[in-house]
Structure 1
Amino acid sequence: MDATIKPLKKEISEPKTIVRPSREEAEQAVRTLLAWAGEDVSREGLQETPKRVVKAYEEFFEGYRLDAEEVLNKTFRDVGGYDDIVLVKDIPFFSHCEHHMVPFVGKAHIAYLPTDSVVGLSKLGRVTDVFAKRFQTQENLTQQIIDAINDSLNPRGAAVMLEAEHMCMSLRGVKKHGAITLTQRFTGVFAEEPKEQDRFFQLLALQK
């Protein structure tokens, strides 16, 4: 008798609940790292360092408290029928490598082909920071930015390129100062039509 094979149900994993340590626990963790490095954590110059580091972390990683959808939720339709490329290039950003917890610094180039509305230009810089101000890899950062643009703006196409220097490569390991990493993603028309990619790169190459 033939057995009927039922398709396996895809298990949907629940998002993990992140339990944040207290500020006091975070400050103690900084003291532990300082002591492990060989420092006397009681000396005058380091007494306030744990507080300063935790305060700096609140700024460095504020992306965990931000929402890309909220950043991109206001659009404008009164643009005189404009439907060509919108490109903001040389958006400065810094992030932190999730593998070594040291910075990588660079600039983002973001373009999209609007459907029926555009977003405020500053929002493309803000959405970059939403994801950059987290522990990251450059590849993942590139993908998250373009996904947010596609989800919120529903453009006919989007293009994102990041170029950055990674301190984990410049200051440690192979110590290749000045090496630049490029990552890029194209969706919609930019992915389907090479001429649109060419236009993107031509616009990036224009002199300031």
Structure 2
Amino acid sequence: MDKPTKAEAEEAVRTLIRWAGDDPSREGLLGTPDRVARSYLEFFAGYNENPEEYLERTFEEVHGYDEMIVLKDIRLESYCEHHMVPIIGVAHVAYMPNNRVVGISKLARVVDAFSKRLQIQEKLTQQIAETIDHALKPKGVAVIIESAHQCMTTRGVHKDGVTMITSAMLGCFRDSDITRRELLSFVDRR
């Protein structure tokens, strides 16, 4: 797929402004095409990242630690692939290590790399879990995402305050009710 130039992206924004019923040449909108194009580079930066690279450096000097590691309330901003409007929420990521751990900021970077793409939440949840599972080969991985979808709150049915929760449970989180309950007790603590 050939990526359009910045000039082509800016012209597309001018077209959308005209289609919405406004004049892209009026003072308040003159810089809008440039600003939108630059913001898209930030919003969709995940297309330029390989999330598995964040998980390459691990630490084996853990003194036998083999209990659950949970990073909760990772803020995420994604974009609905159907309407291109924000999905804003939090991700909770857990894994049960198998002789090695990864720096916790790397888990947040994996969440960001996948969320900074056009997405549906179900796929986003699964991608994060499968990437961590593949790279770290832990005893188990769990990802829970809670988010509000602007495609539902600012258009369509206009239901503010509604959140969607998705989960992906792999390995011991899928196989053991005890492990799953322990994880949920950690995540539910406020």
Secondary structure at the residue paired with 2:159? coil
Amino acid at match of 2:89: G
> How far apart, CA to CA, are the structure 1 residues paired with 2:62 and 2:38?
42
Secondary structure at the residue paired with 1:185? strand
Q: CA deviation at 1:63?
A: 0.1
> How far apart, CA to CA, are the structure 2 residues paired with 1:112 and 1:187?
9
> How far apart, CA to CA, are the structure 2 residues paired with 1:30 and 1:206?
44
Q: Which residue of 1 aligns with 2:93?
A: 110
1:69 aligns with 2:83: no
What's the CA shift string for 1:168-201, capped at 9, x where partnerless? 0000111000100000010001111111100100
2:27 alignment partner, one of 44, 57, 67: 44
**Pair member with larger Rg:** 1
1:177 aligns with 2:163: no
> How far apart, CA to CA, are the structure 2 residues paired with 1:42 and 1:91?
40
Structure 1 unmatched ranges of 5 or more: 1-17
Structure 2 unmatched ranges of 5 or more: none
Q: Which residue of 2 aligns with 1:79?
A: 62
Runs of 4 or more above 2 Å deviation: none
1:150 alignment partner, one of 126, 133, 142: 133
> How far apart, CA to CA, are the structure 2 residues paired with 1:204 and 1:128?
17
Choose between structure 1 and 2 for higher RCO, CA contacts under 8 A separated by at least 6 residues. Answer: 2
> How far apart, CA to CA, are the structure 2 residues paired with 1:128 and 1:145?
6
Q: What root-mean-square deviation, in Å, do the aligned CA atoms of Structure 1 and Structure 2 show?
A: 0.6
1:98 alignment partner, one of 65, 72, 81: 81
Secondary structure at the residue paired with 2:19? helix
Secondary structure at the residue paired with 1:160? strand
What number of residue pairs does the alignment pair up?
190
The structure carrying a bigger helix percent of its residues is 2
> How far apart, CA to CA, are the structure 2 residues paired with 1:206 and 1:96?
28
What's the CA shift string for 1:88-138, capped at 9, x where partnerless? 000001000000000010000000000010000011110000000000000
Secondary structure at the residue paired with 2:111? helix
Q: Which residue of 1 aligns with 2:72?
A: 89
State TM-score, norm by structure 1.
0.90
Q: Which residue of 2 aligns with 1:8?
A: none
